[in-house]
Structure 1
Amino acid sequence: MSTSDSFDWPITARDTELRTLRNAVQRRGGALLVGPLGVGKSVLLATALRRAADEGRTVLSVGGAGWSSGTRIRGFGTLTECLEAVRPAAADGTAADRPLVAVDDVHLLDTAVSVRLHRLVAAGRLSVLAAARQDAPTPTGIDKLWVERLVEHVEVAPFDRTAMDTVLRARLGGHTDTATLERLWAATHGNALMLRELVEHALEDGSLTCVDGTWRWPGLTRRPGKRLSDVIRVGLRDLSHEEHELVQMLAVAEPLEAEIVAAAGLSRAAEALDLRRIVTVERSRSRVRLRLAVPLSRVVIASRMSDLTAARLRREVADSLERTGARRADDILRIVTLRTEAGLVPEREQLLGAARIALRRREFPLAERLCLLALQEEPSDLDTPALHGPVPDSALFGADLRRLVTRVVRDPEQAVPRVRAALLLGQVLVGRDRPAEAETVLKAALESGVAVPLDEYVGAVHTRVTNLAWSLRRVQEAGELLDRTVAEVGADRAGLLHGTRVLIAVMSDRLQEAVALGDTALDATAPDLPLAQSVVPTVAFARSELGDPAGALQLLNRYRDVCDEWDTDAQLLANSVSARCSSLLGHLRSAAEALDAVHRYDPGHGRPVLLQALLDRCRLLRMLGQSEQAVALLRGAIASEAAHEYPVTSAWPLAQLAGALAESGNHSEALRTLVEVRALRGEVLGFPISEDEIAYESALVLAYTGDHSSAAAQAVALAERAGAAGRTVRATNALLLAARVTEGAAVRFPHRALLRAARTAGGLTRVLADYAEALADGDGAALTDVCDRLVEMGALPLAGEAAAQAARAFRASGQHRKGREAQAACRELLPGSGVALPPWVEADTRPERDSASLTPREREVAVLAATGMSNRDIADRLVVSVRTVENHLHRIYHKLGITARNDLQRGLDKLIGRPRETNRMAPLRLYEGGSEHVA
């Protein structure tokens, strides 16, 4: 899209506010819009005024609010001039007869004129639309207007994520990928002004680009432009010296603990900035921290700051942290980072220690830069960027890095620490999904002949083996390296490498072999710490997948007493697998409490994020009916740097997001996300387990959007594939999904053996197997029993669905009284579950649609066209001709009963059933005409 129309922002996602304003003007004395700076109050005011003028109202504008030469709005410089020129309506006139006076920034009025305005409105002679900043006191007359309920008090909030997606689609004319949406949200928190300026800046500098019909943005890659910087500075006007000092300190060192702020004598400044919404306060147990309210302002303020000032503030914060004891690992990392950015490069050991902490926290860019600093002999060795600067490109890891690693042999004093830094850097690069560079670094360091601590050496070999086997697909070479290293260090000292064998077996979908390898390693000798923490969680995971959650829990409990000594990832994985096993045994609520108690899964909480654990938590939340909470967690994980983790591929969290969106009623967004998943699967190599998880979510989205036959076919194929590999749990879930969307018709005789085998797992898996067979048999009594057992376990959404299906089965067999009882049970369960029945269950109660269903290909074309893609782009994506796309669209228009491309989204919503509203914003809705703008 050209940037020549950079301010052509169609107003959208503000239906509720504009309706409220129109009703307030028609039925009352008007409305007062209140909100923080930049949320779009002025644009809403201007839009409401233009619409009122178009309806024939007499509209008068003060200070330029909504006025333009092409409208019927009269403009005045001051409210006094306006009130002198206006002819008030008669006291007994109707609301439509009253002149409408509009005042932007009404908090700037003096008291006398505000009182005069209040009297005219109170007498029914005028209506008023006004806007005021939330943090500014309004004059007496304006306060009396809303206190006496003469006008509507309308709060204008920033956009939520759904509304922001709608606004971006209206501006860009296409779909914005999930990671980009989260990055823009993290930078602006939905502030309309900041969003507009950031998007226009990104379009202008070319960082926001459209690839295959999808807009992608990697984040700010350079200093913000002048206009973007100036807009942010507008919100920071009139700061006192202390407030300015605190804002600058936050820009270079946030978050700041309240103790550090108090020690700097800036507590009063913090209170004032909190009232103005310039800073936000975070509370976690006894810890109170401050951050800048608009994250984007941090970059702008830091870029405008003197280097000397930034260095001074960083040193002061680092010193304060050290004086308070630096009790947490996070504190040590912050101290090293702040001092390094201030130009005080710490000792190599301190850099390595901080890099390990950053790696554990999955702050890969920071860990990479710390490793590069530790590798340097002199500042000129590598052209290392600032710690929070742009990411270095792959050229950095060519001759220069090999020279640094191989030269250490000739420098005995520096050899060991620099090889250790290189080994750590290799692990960081694997985490950043740069496998070729990681292999270059690890190979050079491991073959340098320099002796390093055994645990670091073995850990680096583990990283190299998994990187070779799965990212680079050099499986034979990986196996030879593993065997060679075990022989070199001795089987009794290999520790982690035994876990490497088990992990490779799991990722190869050889779960029985993984369990056998793990049991042999654990039984051979009393397992040391590295062996136990690498083998136990992985073997427990394999057991749970094979349908033996009780055996997995027994294994985990055997090592419960020593689990506290394990590293963070091993603990997180063990806790996650433990909760997974509890849920499979039917203890869903206790499993959820166990995961919530850890407080380490949420991105943004300053804790490590293990994607496998997060995905397990989200799956459990969805089963408990909390899909929207799962959506929020998944969005944050997708936008983070922690998107690469064996065996989790970057497509897996995105696929689960699509499924959670479908369950929460956002069907259109779920389909768009599924398109992203398909594109990503072509770019990323997957593993059998992750591919099957993605296939399940794909089938689920198809089911929720009405393509039941395709959903059932995919689910059955998945069940057969997982069953052949012995993965009982996944096979049972897939067969149940097929049965749910086809009333049991998809479950055929060969599948019964698989379901009978699943019953041996007990707990939830047995209930799900019984559920699938009851659907296949049309057995209302069995479905009622399944419902009761699911209620006892806490899976209320699935229990409500089982009750509805029991009612249908009873009606089909002529047992109408039992059918009514089951329907009543369903109605009682739905409010408690927090979700509505899925569309395939509701289908028998909705009237038949006049239009035929879309075929899977027509549905795909319709979704892509609704996102704004051209026919040529759709043809390229689907590898068909443009004429084929045109023919599909012709049939789609006929089936949906529409005549224009702009109506596609409305037609799709109607076809798949209007989604349950999840927020007050109307999704995918644009105002007619497209000529109005949003701030």
Structure 2
Amino acid sequence: MRLVWPLTGRLEETRLIEAALVSTELSGIVIHGTAGVGKSRIAREALSAAGANGHGTRWAVGTSVARTLPLGTFARWVGTSDAESAALVGRVIEGLTSTSEGRPVVVGVDDAHLLDDLSGFVLQQIVQRRAAKLVLTVRTGTSLPDSVRTACDRGRFERLDLQPLSRDESTQLLTAALGGPLDTEAAQRLWRLTRGNVLYLRNIVEQEVTQGRLARRDGRWRWSGDPVMPPGLVELIETRIGALPPAVSEVVDVLAVAEPIQLERLTAITDADSVASAEARGLITIDSADGEVRIAHPLYAEVRRNRAPGSRLRRLRGLVATALADREDRDSMRVVVRRATLMLDSDLPPDPELLTRAAQGAVWLSDLALADRLAQGAIAAGADTEANFIRAHALSWLSRGDESDAVLAAIEPGDLTDDGRARLAFLRASNLIWSLADPAGAKRHIDEAAAAIPAASRAAIDAFYTVYWAAMGEPERAVAASSALDLDALPAIVGAVTAWAVVVACGDAGRPDEAVAAARTGYRITDRSFDAAHMRFVIADAHIGALLLAGRISEAREEAERLRRQATELPGAAQLFGAALAGRAAAGAGALGAAAELLDPVVEMMRAAGETNGFGYRFQLPRVTTLAIRGLADDAALAELDEYRHASWRYLAYEHTLVRSWAAATQGAVSEAVEIALSAAEAAGAEGQLAAEAWCLQIAAQFGDHSRTHRLEELTGLVEGPRVGVAAALSRALSRDDGDGLAAVSTEFETIGDLVAAADAAGLAAAAYRRKAMRGSAMASAARATELAEACGGSATPAVLAAAERLPLTDREREIAMLISAGLSSRAIADRLHLSVRTVEGHIYRAMAKTGVSTRAGLIALLPRRRR
């Protein structure tokens, strides 16, 4: 596959160059930048643009070879004459600046720092005579020849310091070059490796595409395996690094295996003169603020590591690990993780205690793959069972459930205390229920453990029962199981997971204050522990869910934003969860476009990673809901959601059912949508998920149903939070066909932050006003419904579409017309709405008669369009 690399992310720079070339006061522009940053490309593009605008253009390249010859860079304009220098200079200037049509000329000189003196004199003369505009590129860190500097001093030149592409600009360039979107993780990896250097990026991407490691799967480009450095790029980087004295090589290689390192520590490991020499060569950078030293570019480190013998790298890692152990902060967790990571691949003997503690620290840093490596190293070094517990938990989270179970099965229960056996049972059952998606197996395992462990040591057993019943959607049984537990007294990971379960149960049951209190307990546990820190994001998901169910939507969004800020400081999965939580909260508020932007890459990445714990399913639910509300959830999207379904997230059954309800509604099958939403409400209520029941009944009311008004009024006394009261008011106003009441409910929904419901209530108000011939009020409510729907990002619900419609149809006629527009035949419509074909045909005939059209296509043309 041949890639085409457009100029991307350089709009401001291009405008600056264009302005310099049309200015009457400037002689041109000098573009400074590091090797590979894109100086030559932007200069060539500038000359192409000038040529398209009627200028003559010339292009020359300075090289180290041409520099040894007078006028070497401009040799093509010298000709074969043996004339004196003055005549030759004149000939070159004439050749560079004259055109047969007398057009203005732009001369581009790449790598102007490599010009010989006579070529520099040519530039002086062009500037002095104002014979052409100049575009010069200069590599940062090099010295200009005196002749070129004089040319720049004689004229007025704009200066452009060209920076590497930002992360977003790099991703835009990759998307354009590859012809499709890039997986988020692949984009991040390429950014970390190339730091926006276009030359490096291009070399690596073309190599990886050719080798098949960077390939398009499921509509996105995904990168698997480790990059193999193209030989040409290695040669280029090695030339840039140059031949180094052994002491300077030591500095560079130490940083290649262990950056960043404090300057004081680096000089102790190596020596101050060598560090200064490496800095002078541009191979390392020293942060003046914190004194941290890093290698100048990640690829320098990659090349040095690939070239160095393994024994040398192991020795250097051992040196740095030993040096870190001498620091005062050697026991701080970040330093512990660095020390242990270096030790793993060094010539030092392994320290099982250090490796175990570091594995906990890696979990704290949300780097579960590293936690697995460190714990595995600890086990191999003879660590106690704590390392097995940490490794098993990390493997489970990494969707490697079979490996996790094997690690736990290898522990001899007879070597544990009763409390330890309860903890082992909790971890093994947790792996079964989540990573292996076997809730029945998890229940059998914990039942067997409960029968064998004394009551005094059963806290971890009761904790898992809490988790199990919450996951199964039986909140009262979950709360009962947790009633005697002191979450703070449990092992950290057990306490944190159980806190999540209590939050879920209380939220589903309609007790958000208790849910918030349990979430605070969970956060307290995660904040004070290392091996449970990552659970803060799972607890936050339950916390946000409880607030959304209650209608405390602004609080939910604030909580999501708080966690997202925390996630930006952590690696790996933490950032993914931060975006997922923000997307879920946005979906709950009705910010459909923003939610989709956040959730789409999350779901794609989890699917690509083969995630088995159910988080992909959890975040696919709000993602497909946002599609359905906008009328974009086709059968394929619903089938994909069913494929994602995880057996252990049963408490989300109502949410799954509501996706189907929304899809039916926006396809036009409103009566079917109501039936589905009511069935979800009934199922949730039967399990004690009263807040979920209220939400399902609210959705049914948004579709125009008021058959459960009495039940919603009952729920106002059973469920906390503003949502249930507003939902009851909606159903009550519908039952009275009360336009004013519906308009007031629209305002209430907007106040609590549910914009989709606010738009629907306004649309229902418009319909009520229209039935009473209150034209002005109807038009005002219809306009409000449209405005709110647009603010949502394109809500296409039945109430919103009906508000914009002016057709004299009954609800049933409109429903059938919408299904015709979705491509359904009369037989399919009859089957879907449980009607006879003859009844359907009768409704179609009457709709055509009322609207004055004679064909189905004509009827479809009258319907409001869904935004796609």
**2:471 maps to 1:507:** yes
Q: Give the SS at the match of 2:58.
A: strand
Structure 1 CA distance for aligned equivalents of residues 200 and 135 of structure 2: 24
Q: Give the SS at the match of 2:361.
A: helix
Equivalent residue number for residue 605 of structure 1: 570
Equivalent residue number for residue 515 of structure 2: 552
Cα offset, 1:502, TM superposition: 2.0
Opposite residue 261 of structure 2, the aligned amino acid is L
Moved more, 136-145 or 253-262: 136-145
Q: Give the SS at the match of 1:725.
A: helix
**2:161 maps to 1:199:** no
Partners of 1:41 and 1:131 within 8 A in 2:
yes
Partners of 1:61 and 1:75 within 8 A in 2:
no
TM-score normalised over the length of structure 1: 0.65
Structure 1 CA distance for aligned equivalents of residues 712 and 288 of structure 2: 49
Equivalent residue number for residue 725 of structure 1: 684
Q: Considering only aligned residues, what root-mean-square deviation do their CA atoms show, in Å?
A: 6.1
Equivalent residue number for residue 299 of structure 1: 302
Q: Would the alpha carbon gap of residues 258 and 213 (structure 1) be closer, same or farther in structure 2, given more than 3 Å must change?
A: same
Partners of 1:250 and 1:291 within 8 A in 2:
yes
Partners of 1:699 and 1:712 within 8 A in 2:
no
Cα offset, 1:349, TM superposition: 3.4
- The correspondence for 1:765, drawn from 723, 737, 741, is 723
- The correspondence for 2:316, drawn from 313, 317, 321, is 313
Moved more, 312-321 or 182-191: 182-191
Q: Would the alpha carbon gap of residues 327 and 346 (structure 1) be closer, same or farther in structure 2, given more than 3 Å must change?
A: same
Structure 2 CA distance for aligned equivalents of residues 143 and 758 of structure 1: 84
Equivalent residue number for residue 433 of structure 1: 399
Instruction: Please list the CA deviations of residues 340-376 of structure 1 after superposition, one character each: whole Å capped at 9, or x if unmatched.
Output: 2112232333333333333444433333333443444
Partners of 1:24 and 1:151 within 8 A in 2:
no
Moved more, 624-633 or 527-536: 624-633
Q: Would the alpha carbon gap of residues 274 and 617 (structure 1) be closer, same or farther in structure 2, given more than 3 Å must change?
A: farther
Partners of 2:32 and 2:159 within 8 A in 1:
no
Cα offset, 1:166, TM superposition: 5.2
- The correspondence for 2:341, drawn from 337, 345, 367, is 337
Partners of 1:177 and 1:676 within 8 A in 2:
no
Structure 1 CA distance for aligned equivalents of residues 658 and 5 of structure 2: 37
Structure 2 CA distance for aligned equivalents of residues 171 and 750 of structure 1: 56
Equivalent residue number for residue 866 of structure 1: none
TM-score normalised over the length of structure 2: 0.69
Partners of 2:32 and 2:138 within 8 A in 1:
yes
Opposite residue 721 of structure 1, the aligned amino acid is A
Instruction: Please list the CA deviations of residues 545-600 of structure 1 after superposition, one character each: whole Å capped at 9, or x if unmatched.
Output: 33321232345568998886664356665566556656766766666666666788
Structure 1 CA distance for aligned equivalents of residues 469 and 489 of structure 2: 20
Equivalent residue number for residue 98 of structure 1: 104
Equivalent residue number for residue 447 of structure 2: 483
Opposite residue 337 of structure 2, the aligned amino acid is L
Partners of 1:106 and 1:131 within 8 A in 2:
yes
Opposite residue 498 of structure 2, the aligned amino acid is V
- The correspondence for 1:256, drawn from 237, 261, 264, is 261
Equivalent residue number for residue 930 of structure 1: none
Equivalent residue number for residue 363 of structure 1: 367
Equivalent residue number for residue 214 of structure 2: 208
Structure 1 CA distance for aligned equivalents of residues 657 and 91 of structure 2: 65
Q: Give the SS at the match of 1:540.
A: helix
Partners of 1:422 and 1:441 within 8 A in 2:
yes
Opposite residue 748 of structure 1, the aligned amino acid is D
Structure 1 CA distance for aligned equivalents of residues 637 and 286 of structure 2: 36
Q: Would the alpha carbon gap of residues 421 and 748 (structure 1) be closer, same or farther in structure 2, given more than 3 Å must change?
A: same
Equivalent residue number for residue 323 of structure 1: 326
Structure 2 CA distance for aligned equivalents of residues 240 and 764 of structure 1: 72
Structure 2 CA distance for aligned equivalents of residues 227 and 97 of structure 1: 40
Instruction: Please list the CA deviations of residues 841-867 of structure 1 after superposition, one character each: whole Å capped at 9, or x if unmatched.
Output: 99999999xxx9998899xxxxxxxxx
Instruction: Please list the CA deviations of residues 179-210 of structure 1 after superposition, one character each: whole Å capped at 9, or x if unmatched.
Output: 43443344334443233222222234332344
Structure 2 CA distance for aligned equivalents of residues 593 and 289 of structure 1: 35
Quote the sequence identity (%).
21
Q: Would the alpha carbon gap of residues 42 and 537 (structure 1) be closer, same or farther in structure 2, given more than 3 Å must change?
A: same
Cα offset, 1:718, TM superposition: 6.7
Structure 2 CA distance for aligned equivalents of residues 676 and 146 of structure 1: 68
Q: Which has the larger radius of gyration?
A: 2
Structure 1 CA distance for aligned equivalents of residues 185 and 670 of structure 2: 26
**2:15 maps to 1:20:** yes
Opposite residue 683 of structure 2, the aligned amino acid is A
Equivalent residue number for residue 864 of structure 1: none
Which residues of structure 1 form unaligned runs of 5+? 66-73, 378-413, 859-894, 896-909, 914-935
Structure 2 CA distance for aligned equivalents of residues 629 and 189 of structure 1: 29
Cα offset, 1:55, TM superposition: 5.9
Equivalent residue number for residue 506 of structure 2: 543
Structure 2 CA distance for aligned equivalents of residues 773 and 235 of structure 1: 73
Which structure is higher in RCO with an 8 Å CA cutoff and minimum separation 6? 1
Q: Give the SS at the match of 1:479.
A: helix
Q: Give the SS at the match of 1:97.
A: coil
Equivalent residue number for residue 878 of structure 1: none
Kindly report which structure 2 residues correspond to 1:35-114, keeping only aligned pairs within 5 A, or say none.
35-50=33-48, 52-53=50-51, 57-63=55-61, 76=74, 84-86=93-95, 88=97, 97-106=103-112, 108=114
Moved more, 143-152 or 291-300: 143-152
Q: Would the alpha carbon gap of residues 197 and 509 (structure 1) be closer, same or farther in structure 2, given more than 3 Å must change?
A: farther
Cα offset, 1:304, TM superposition: 1.9
Kindly report which structure 2 residues correspond to 1:121-520, keeping only aligned pairs within 5 A, or say none.
125-133=131-139, 153=160, 155=162, 157-158=164-165, 160-161=167-168, 164=170, 167-173=173-179, 176-211=182-217, 214-220=220-226, 224-233=229-238, 236=241, 245-257=250-262, 260-261=265-266, 291-292=294-295, 294-324=297-327, 325-376=329-380, 417=383, 421-443=387-409, 445-446=410-411, 448=412, 450-472=414-436, 474-519=438-483
Opposite residue 619 of structure 1, the aligned amino acid is R
Opposite residue 442 of structure 1, the aligned amino acid is L
Cα offset, 1:488, TM superposition: 1.9
Q: Would the alpha carbon gap of residues 150 and 611 (structure 1) be closer, same or farther in structure 2, given more than 3 Å must change?
A: closer
Q: Would the alpha carbon gap of residues 587 and 99 (structure 1) be closer, same or farther in structure 2, given more than 3 Å must change?
A: same
Instruction: Please list the CA deviations of residues 247-285 of structure 1 after superposition, one character each: whole Å capped at 9, or x if unmatched.
Output: 4333212343566446556699599869969659699xx
